[in-house]
Amino acid sequence: MSHQSELIATDIDAYLKQHEHKELLRFLTCGSVDDGKSTLIGKLLYETKMIYEDQLAAIQRDSAVHGTTGGDFDPALLTDGLKAEREQGITIDVAYRYFSTAKRKFIIADCPGHEQYTRNMATGASTCDLAIILIDARHGVMTQTKRHSFIVSLLGIKHVLVAVNKMDLVGYSEEVFDQIKQTYQDFAVRLELIDQHFIPISALKGDNLVEHSENMPWYEGPTLMHHLENVHIASDRNLVDFRLPVQYVNRPNLNFRGFCGTIASGRIRKGETVMALPSRKTSQVKSIVTFDGELNEAFTPQAVTVTLADEIDVSRGDMLVRPDNVPNLADACDAPIVGMTDEPHDPGQQYWIKQTSKSAAGSISNLRYRIDVNTLHRQEADQLGLNEIGRCHVRLNQPIAFDGYRRNKGTGAFIVIDRVTNVTVGAGMILDRTASDAEDHWEQEASSSLQAEHSTVSPAERSGRFGQKPATVLLTGLTGAGKTTIAYAVERKLFDMGRAVCVLDGQNIRRGISRDLGWTVAERSENIRRGAEAAKLMNDAGLICLASFIAPEEAVRQKAAEVIGRERFLVVHLEAPIELCRQRDQEGLYKKADEGEIANFPGVSAPYEPPVKPDLVLNTAELSVDDSVKRVVKLLEGRKITSA
């Protein structure tokens, strides 16, 4: 498992070249106090032969004085280097260690387990791809386990490895492991932890670290090291949304003016058109300069200097983006903020808000609620103290360009700085422009000052007048599946039959009441919510509403059903191969999505979830428009919405 290679002895240059191009995985260890985080890291370094002999000898000597293993070699001392840490046998500050194997390079962040050092844990987790959450098999899921899991979710770490440690102290019991796994899963269902894996280990004994343990033959999954070497992280990077925060304007002579920075996300090519924010001036990329020379293409996380064909004004703190894929540009945002100092945050107090390379004066204008990380419940609060997490509304004295943190960590994070002491007092993760609003709007109760008004025309009277029952038919499918075509054809057929019917088309909604929305997951959700409310009003008026929307998420479709009423909500899934949808695409949307010009495009850069139990499936690759219309009309007749 060592990083050693035969190339070291035969061709050192080739070895270094090979080592340079290994994929890097950043991960952290976290969990409750004494769960074995430092021991695990020390053992991994020992097993991968990444400890120098003099360092190993020093650790062996110190183990007799500071160790917790009865004088035997204590691997925890490799990361617990502070005197206070060794005296108490705890981790206080984040310790970073490096090692490599034949497959990958690794940077480990060993995070403290004590509650009072939660801010240190948040700092260590901010750049990680994966989190190892350790659980002591004797104690199970602790309060600090939940706290760290919540922060891991909050920071958008997609890959979580739950290592149930000290299995040797519970007799390597499969029942204990299964019980802890179930308890953790029951808690984590409320968190956005996308990729979870569970491994029983003994960090001190080495069970299931590098080799499978003979003491746990019942466990047939991968070892911890195998998982670290093979977990897929390449797709985690955002290569769609090009964002280049300008850190420095390089002007060495009259013939060169370049804009330097690290690409936060996406990719860029020579000759492409870019827009500078906040000025919105556009130009073409003339060259992409790096330390290794000019490139034709660059991508995240490369550090580059971009020169433009036109002399437009671009300064430090500005951002280069694509004209048709721009971030939010606003002087306010919502964000969970982690308190970093003993001095509490008071709403209205002025701070410096630093986001990417831009600093702006601003304040936490409203602390909406504080989050109890143990129960995930919301609490009313007037202040935000050390290690506390609160949902805040931040207002700035000038606009900044930002994305939602979950979509883009590089442009979605900020720190709060005291204007007098320059101390970092908080760290925030910006919510998507409508992520919070979209979620809240689905659940939000109407104002208590508003009263529902009721028509004097009853639903029975409307049904008698129109000879039908009101209903909403959602036609959902990929772009190019034929939703709009079939919706208007069904409308024509029903109208000719004397029915009161109308079409609610997603594109028309976006040209009107949803013109302020973009294309993020949350904004698509909000667009469906608005469409559902409009469809409900049409149904209340006695009409049959044919709603043509992509509606890519099953959960959002179910929410729409609740708004409209499940008894009058039908789902028709238009099923067509994506190759056929591409052929029908006259606007070139799929091509733009392939090239990264359109973000979050279902079927290309975002998933489409087919309905679980649709009322009707139309294979539009085989059915004609007329045949599809007949089947929809037959469905309505069969559900007694219209009479034959």
Cα 543 from chain centroid (whole Å): 40
Residues 149 and 89 in one domain: yes
Q: Do 263 and 389 lie in a common domain?
A: no
Same domain, 399 and 468: no
174 in the same domain as 36: yes
Please write the tens of the pLDDT for every residue from 313-366: 999 999 999 988 888 888 888 899 988 888 877 778 899 999 999 999 999 888
Q: What are phi and psi of 402, to 5 degrees?
A: -150, 160
Sign of the four-CA dihedral 328, 331, 333, 338: positive
Please indicate, yes or no, if residue 445 is contained in any of the structural domains.
Answer: no
pLDDT tens for residues 548-605? 999 988 888 988 999 999 999 999 999 999 889 999 988 888 888 777 667 678 888 7
Strand partners, 415: 354, 427
Same domain, 115 and 94: yes
pLDDT of residue 620: 93
Shared domain for 468 and 551, answered yes or no, is: yes
CA distance 219 to 171: 14
Report pLDDT digits (tens) over 169-182. Answer: 999 999 999 999 99
> pTM for the complete prediction?
0.61
Residue 570 confidence (pLDDT): 96
The Cα 322–Cα 309 span in angstroms is 15
Angle between helices 521-540 and 554-564 (to 10 degrees): 20
- In this structure, the answer to whether residues 535 and 582 fall within a common structural domain is yes
Q: How many CB atoms neighbour CB 499 within 10 A?
A: 19
Report pLDDT digits (tens) over 316-331. Answer: 999 999 988 888 888 8
In sequence order, what DSSP letters do the residues of 562-601 get, joined into one string?
A: HHH-GGGEEEEEEE--HHHHHHH-TT-HHHHHHTTSS-S-
**Is residue 313 located within the same domain as residue 352?**
no
- On whether both 394 and 513 belong to a single domain, the answer is no
- CATH number of the domain at 585, please: 3.40.50.300
pLDDT digits (tens, 9 = 90+) for 63-98: 555 545 544 555 556 554 434 433 444 444 566 778
Q: Is the dihedral of CA 553, 557, 563, 564 positive or negative?
A: positive
Q: Which of 335, 549, 354, 514 is nearest to 429 (CA)?
A: 335
Last residue within a domain, chosen from 417, 433, 449? 433
Question: Given 236, 252, 271, which residue is the final one in a domain?
Answer: 236
Rounded to an integer, the average pLDDT of 20-31 is: 83
Does 21 share its domain with 167? yes
**Portion of the chain with pLDDT greater than 70, in percent:** 84
Return the closest-CA partner of residue 337 out of 396, 389, 402: 389
Q: Report the pLDDT value the prediction gives residue 330, as an integer from 0 to 100.
A: 85
Domain assignment present for 315: yes
Number of domains the chain is built from: 4
Least confident of 132-146, 215-229, 420-434: 420-434
The percentage of the chain sitting over the pLDDT mark of 90, rounded to a whole number, equals 41
Q: Is residue 518 part of a domain?
A: yes
Rg (CA), the chain: 29
Residue carrying structure tokens 């490599």: 100
131 located within any domain: yes
Q: Determine contact, residues 207/168, Cβ cutoff 8 Å.
A: yes
Asked, for residue 438, whether it belongs to a domain, the answer is no
What does the pLDDT read at residue 41? Answer: 80
Same domain, 417 and 476: no
**268 and 350 housed in the same domain:** no
Q: What are the angstrom distances between the C-alpha of 355 and each of 155, 200, 260, 400?
A: 16, 40, 16, 8
CATH number at residue 337: 2.40.30.10
pLDDT at residue 233 greater than cutoff 90: no
Q: What is the arithmetic mean of pLDDT over 513-519?
A: 81
Domain with 397, as residue range(s), is 328-433
Q: For residue 83, give the 3-state DSSP assignment.
A: helix
Among 397, 414, 433, give the residue marking a domain's end. Answer: 433
pLDDT the model gives residue 63: 53
Tell which phi-psi region holds residue 227, choosing left (phi > 0), alpha (psi between -120 and 50) or beta: alpha
What is the reported pLDDT for 50? Answer: 62
Q: Is pLDDT at 3 greater than 60 in this prediction?
A: no
Give residue 327's Cα distance to chain centre.
16
pLDDT given for residue 365 in this prediction: 83
Pick 377 or 80 by higher pLDDT: 377
Residue 643: inside a domain, yes or no? Answer: no
pLDDT score for 317: 92
Other CB atoms within 10 Å distance of the CB of residue 639: 15
Q: Token digits for 315?
A: 């300064």
Nearest-angstrom CA–CA distance, 48 and 37 = 17
Contact 469, 462 (CB under 8 A): no
- Asked, for residue 448, whether it belongs to a domain, the answer is no
Domain-embedded: residue 449: no
520-545 tens-digit pLDDT? 777 788 899 999 999 999 999 999 99
pLDDT score at 444: 58
pLDDT of residue 74: 57
Please give the pLDDT value at position 326: 87
Q: Give the three-class secondary structure for 183.
A: helix
In this predicted structure, what is the pLDDT of residue 435? 44
What band does 227 get if pLDDT is binned at 50, 70 and 90?
very high
CA 630, 631, 632: angle at the middle one, nearest 5?
A: 95
